[in-house]
Structure 1
Amino acid sequence: MTTFVDRVELHVAAGNGGHGCASVHREKFKPLGGPDGGNGGRGGDVILVVDQSITTLLDYHHSPHRKATNGQPGAGDNRSGKDGQDLVLPVPDGTVVLDKQGNVLADLVGQGTTFIAGQGGRGGLGNAALASARRKAPGFALLGEPGEARDVVMELKTVADVALVGYPSAGKSSLISVLSAAKPKIADYPFTTLVPNLGVVTAGSTVYTIADVPGLIPGASQGKGLGLEFLRHVERCSVLVHVLDTATLESDRDPVSDLDIIEEELGQYGGLDDRPRIVVLNKIDIPDGQDLADMIRPDLEERGYQVFEASAVARTGLKELSFALADIVAKARAAKPVEEATRIVIRPKAVDDAGFTVVKEEDGLFRVRGEKPERWVRQTDFNNDEAVGYLADRLNRLGVEEELMKAGARAGDGVAIGPEDNAVVFDWEPTMMAGAEMLGRRGEDHRLEAPRPAAQRRRDREAERDDAQREFDEFDPF
């Protein structure tokens, strides 16, 4: 049964925004008391949060589809819909979030670090919020926006100061078990360790973490064996420790060749050339192991390596090794730049930025792209003529019609608003005024207007009788 997973593909879907409500207040002696439709609630976000008590992505391997709740629709009497509940997903420290193309979206390091993987949709405005002096009784409301849905890849890169690398059965797990309180599985056959083990070591005043990277064999960087699955766990380490087996029973291997092969794999993986290396000659408690260590140590030191001899079984050489690693880790921490306080970067829009673009495509279609036009289209109920007219007003005020004319659009040309896979397409009919003005006082109700004085009503009735009499006198069928 799988107990450790360090790479998963997660399908997240944020909550949809609730629809706004179109309602008119009604009560005794006041049948048309004005619009009172409430706004829809916001959809819930999908949020990744670092939780250091989590060590694996196993939960998301079994349940890769996660969805936040939707916002509730608005209601009459100016009642707004309830916001959707955010979905908080705990992830291990050191999780990297990427898109399907491999671009890094977030590097989550440190307890409580968050990343919004899916943004909840906005709630639609009710007709009470859409009312104005010109549009006193809107007969429509805006729809809630759909929540963001996307696929992300999460990779776990162990946050450790020291990485133990070496051939299978070189003694990495045994070393980490005696240097720290970690209790990894240990046996005398290859690939005993199937997951990276992490331990905490205290050497004097320095406390650091140490991890072993399993499964490194020739071809690991190209996917052979288990190495490719775990090489990512050495990327965050400050120092690499080559654990060499001086008592190997395989006739075609020797410690120096093992070192060269592992270095070749690390080089092909890339990004690790600047990490300091030290060498541990392990299993010197075996007589042949001590003899081989004495033989190859001068050669390794000539290459510039700092060499230590150790035995996890006899517990020899461990103190010197732990303090040497603590010294390297302390220097690496001191060399890191001091993190500055978070700075807020303000990037104002250019004065000539219209907020949208109009492009004529090869097939003659004019495509409009921009945050506002595309959002307004998503919020429009196309079954309501008044809502469509309101959309026309907004687009006209934004300057879309003017830009279409500049781009060469003529009456009857196709216009698409939005991306190719989800666009609204219509035949363009240019106008000289906004859509609501063309249809004539759309959204107004004369019953909501203040009553006219009695004298004005009398004059209006007399004018209507005079117009009717004049039309009758001018009509002569004979």
Structure 2
Amino acid sequence: MSRFVDRVVLHATAGAGGNGCASVHREKFKPLGGPDGGNGGRGGSIVLVVDSGVHTLLDFHHRPHAMARNGKQGQGGFRAGASAEDLELAVPDGTVVFDGQGTIVADLTGPGTRFVAAEGGRGGLGNAALASSARKAPGFALLGEPGESRDLVLELRSMADVGLVGFPSAGKSSLVAALSAARPKIADYPFTTLVPQLGVVNAGENVFTVADVPGLIPGASEGRGLGLDFLRHIERTSVLVHVVDCATAEPGRDPVSDVQALEDELARYTPALGGELADRPRLIALNKIDVPDARDMAALVAPELAERFGWPVLTISTATREGLRELSFAMAEQVREHRAAQPIIEATRIVLRPQAVDDAGFTIEPDPELPDGFVVRGARPERWIRQTSFENDEAVGYLADRLARLGVEDALANAGARPGCPVTIGDVTFDWEPTAPSTIASLSGRGTDRRLEQSNRIGAAARKAARADRRRQRTDEELFAGSDDSADDGH
């Protein structure tokens, strides 16, 4: 028998991007082939996908670690590395994803719904992509970015329309079995139901689902019994049904006090998806009226329950199926009214929010750990740090150029930074040595090939000017001057 698991911790690690390639084209009779290093491939992402064929989080309980593949490294000859495929993980409909702080980051409802749990790292650029008019032959490439790593909590909240609540052995499982094709375990001892049970009910033209959660007892909010752990499965329900045992022989218990005790416990539960359980419409089902004393008890307390709580009260027997038809149609009517009151779900529209013109994309803060130090925070500077190989001087120079163009140097100077003070970006701390703004253009010459600058080849403009000079008509003075020069040169 498969085990029911409705809460797991998932350790998701996306794949890293492949490194770019630093390569120079080498071919006979082509000494200046130029850079031809390809880009690295993108790392695979971890994606959660709702699958209607999955009903539990058991797979994540046995395999809590999910790792996607890394992207391939770029190669010479402009060959880009292959990107890794995303790792898709099937989850049940109704799965809610929490981050480490307990904040909901995704509510996965509807087959095919997707959520990227961890983003794969981008591949690094090869030196062919880094070549420019100022940097014609880069001797370096960018590193691939590491994949995102996250610890997420997955909780299953069943997609049921009606939730059954009641004391242990009140007959909730028997009611689900009598109304639907579900066959939960039924026995004559408390807490027979250890996990939520779902069933599909047909009431005329209406079809809805019913969820049965383990029984509640007074003090469940303090951990007695099975506690309130399974009440998450009725958070999405539109109707709550109190199943009351009218044949119980326990001293101090009666249907009115049972309903009040259950309401007190429900009031202590706060749904993570928002809203309050107190706002849900209620029905009261007085069960086991096939027992004579229970039938008398139900007839006695039904008016009091209706007057005290103001909810419809029905009498049923799951053993003889008496009253089940009326109960199913009453539940169907409540569900129909709830569905009609819901707003029409519109297709999600993509909203583009351009970055503000004056937004530099980074901030500078004093370093709380290093005296006279500063910390630069921002998506782009931190990404550039991860992409840089600090063993390559040209790569470090390229990083300095990028930071200078972004305005990090000017911002550090305005913040009071002095040469030699420690500056931290991401996981790297270095001593700041500012460069003058006028030297930024000269710094960008790193990575040039001197052989390209020493070429004696005549350009197209010079050849065109010489051709025009040869074709123009010359005056007599120019002709005689040219002949005199030739005579002087020859003798």
Superposition TM-score, scaled by structure 1 size: 0.91
Report how far residue 234 of structure 1 moved. Answer: 1.1
CA distance in 1, matches of 2:291, 2:69: 62
**3-state SS of 1:273 partner:** helix
Per the alignment, do residues 139 and 105 of structure 1 end up closer, same or farther by CA in structure 2, a change over 3 Å counting? same
CA drift at 1:453: 4.5
User: What is the deviation of 1:361?
Assistant: 3.2
Counterpart of 1:462? none
Alpha-carbon RMSD: 1.7
Superposed CA deviations along residues 89-124 of structure 1, whole A, max 9, x for unmatched, are: 111111100011110000111111111000000000
* Superposed displacement of residue 442, structure 1: 2.0
Structure whose alpha-carbon radius of gyration is higher: 2
What is residue 288 of structure 2 aligned with on the other side? 283
Q: Deviations over 1:150-183 (max 9, x none)?
A: 1000111111000000001100000000101111
Structure 2 Cα separation of the partners of residues 128 and 367 of structure 1: 32
- 1:125–1:257 Cα change, 3 Å: same
Equivalent residue in structure 2 for 1:412, among 398, 416, 420: 420
Shift of the alpha carbon at 1:435?
Answer: 7.8
Aligned to 2:327: 321
Aligned partner of residue 278 in structure 2, secondary structure: coil
**CA shift at 1:440, angstroms?**
8.1
Instruction: Decide whether the 8 Å contact of 1:49 with 1:88 is kept in 2.
Output: yes
Q: Does 1:87 align with 2:92?
A: no
Residues 280 and 33 (structure 1 numbering): CA distance in 2 closer, same or farther, change over 3 Å? same
Contact 1:45 1:86 (C-alpha < 8 Å) held by counterparts:
yes
Correspondence 1:340 to 2:334? no
Cα separation, partners in 2 of 1:435 and 1:276, compared to 1, 3 Å? farther
Residue identity opposite 1:347 in structure 2: R
Cα deviation per residue 1:254-282 (whole Å; 9 max; x = unaligned)? 22211111100001113211100110000
CA shift for structure 1 position 78: 0.7
Residues 110 and 64 (structure 1 numbering): CA distance in 2 closer, same or farther, change over 3 Å? same
Q: 2:179 is matched with which residue?
A: 179
After the TM superposition, which parts of structure 1 deviate over 6 Å for at least 4 consecutive aligned residues? Answer: none
AA at the equivalent of 2:286: L
For the structure 1 residues 435 and 240, does the alpha-carbon distance in structure 2 shift closer, same or farther, using more than 3 Å as the test? farther
Cross-structure match for 1:298: 303
Distance 1:388 1:230 in 2: 55
Distance in 1, matches of 2:439 and 2:381, equals 15
**Inter-CA distance 104–172: structure 2 relative to 1 (3 Å threshold):** same
Q: Which runs of 5+ in 2 are unaligned?
A: 271-275, 460-491
State the distance in 2 between where 1:211 and 1:167 align. 15
Alpha-carbon distance in 2 for matches of 1:159, 1:96: 12
- Is residue 11–residue 151 contact of structure 2 (8 Å, CA) maintained in 1? yes
2 CA distance for matches of 1:169 and 1:98? Answer: 34
Count residues in correspondence: 451
State the secondary structure of the residue aligned to 2:279.
coil
Deviation at 1:436, TM superposition (A): 7.3
Q: Specify the code of the residue in structure 2 equivalent to 1:398.
A: L
Give the corresponding residue for 1:471.
none
State the match for 1:21 in structure 2: 21
Letter in 2 for 1:25: H
- Contact 1:390-1:436 at 8 Å conserved across structures: no
Is 2:109 aligned against 1:109?
A: yes
Per the alignment, residue 198 of structure 1 pairs with 198
Which residue of the partner structure matches residue 432 of structure 2?
428
SS at match of 1:201: strand
Deviates more, 1:432-441 or 1:26-35: 432-441
The one-letter code of the counterpart of 1:424 is: V
Once the two structures are TM-superposed, the CA of residue 217 in structure 1 deviates from its matched residue by: 1.2
Is the CA contact 1:124–1:379 (under 8 Å) kept in the aligned structure 2?
Answer: yes
1:22-421 aligned within 5 A: 22-270=22-270, 271-303=276-308, 304-362=310-368, 363-418=371-426
Separation in 2, partners of 1:160, 1:446: 73
The answer to whether the 8 A contact 1:157-1:234 is kept is yes
| Runs of 5+ unmatched residues, structure 1 | 456-478
The one-letter code sitting in structure 1 at the alignment partner of 2:401 is D
| Residue range with higher mean Cα deviation, 67-76 or 226-235 | 226-235
**The residue matched to 2:277 in structure 1 has which SS?**
coil
Q: CA deviation at 1:344?
A: 2.3
**Residues 248 and 315 of structure 1, relative CA distance in 2, 3 Å threshold:** same
Partner SS for 1:241: strand
| TM-score (norm. length: structure 2) | 0.89
1:300 alignment partner AA: L
> CA, structure 1 residues 286+435, in 2 after alignment: closer, same or farther (shift >3 Å)?
farther
* Deviation at residue 454 of structure 1 after TM alignment: 8.6
Deviates further, 171-180 or 295-304:
295-304
d(CA) in 2 for partners of 1:11, 1:117: 10
Distance 1:454 1:346, change over 3 A: closer
Distance (Å, rounded) in 1 between the aligned partners of 2:190 and 2:111: 35
* Inter-partner Cα distance in structure 1 for 2:444 and 2:268: 71
Deviation per CA, 1:5-60: give whole Å up to 9, x if none.
Answer: 11111100000000000001111122441111000000001000111111111110
Equivalents in 2 of 1:179, 1:190: separation in Å? 21
How far the C-alpha of 1:433 sits from its partner, in A, is: 4.3
Equivalent position SS for 2:115: strand
The letter for the 2-side match of 1:70 is N
**Aligned sequence identity (%):** 65
